Structure 1
Amino acid sequence: YSMKTIGRTITETDIVNFAGLSGDFNRIHTDAVYAAKDSFGQRVAHGMLVQSIATGLAVQSGIMEGTVLAFRELTCKFSLPIFIGDTVHVVLEVIDKKLFRRLGGGNIVIKYAVMNQDEKAVQRGEWVMLIKSRE
Structure 2
Amino acid sequence: MTAIREDRVFTQTDFDRFAALSGDDNPIHVDPVFSAETRFGRTVAHGMLLYTALWGLVRRHFPGAVQETQDLMFPAPTYAGETMRLEVDLLDRPAPDRLDLAVRVVAAADGTVTLDGRTRVRLTGGEFR
TM-score by length of 1: 0.83
CA 1:4–1:108: 2 relative to 1, 3 Å: closer
Question: Structure 1 CA distance, aligned partners of 2:54 and 2:12?
Answer: 17
> Aligned to 1:5, what secondary structure does the other structure show?
strand
1:58 to partner: Cα distance: 3.2
Question: Structure 2 CA distance, aligned partners of 1:2 and 1:121?
Answer: 20
Task: Could you list the structure 1 runs, at least 4 aligned residues long, displaced by more than 4 angstroms after superposition.
Answer: none
Residue 116 (structure 2) pairs with residue 124 (structure 1): yes
Match 2:77 to one of 76, 81, 98: 81
Q: Is the 8 A contact 2:6 2:87 kept in 1?
A: no
**Cα RMSD between the aligned structures?**
1.7
Aligned-partner residue type, residue 83 of structure 2: T
Match of 1:59 in 2: 59
1:12 to partner: Cα distance: 1.1
TM-score by length of 2: 0.87
Deviations 1:77-96 (A, max 9, x none): 10110111022222222111
Deviations 1:5-55 (A, max 9, x none): 221110111011000011111111111111101101101111111111122
Give the greater-gyration-radius structure (CA).
1
Aligned-partner residue type, residue 27 of structure 1: P
Structure 1: which 5+ residue stretches go unaligned?
100-104
Aligned-partner residue type, residue 34 of structure 1: F
Match of 2:14 in 1: 14
Question: Structure 2 CA distance, aligned partners of 1:47 and 1:95?
Answer: 22
Matches within 5 A, 1:108-123: 108-118=99-109, 119-123=111-115
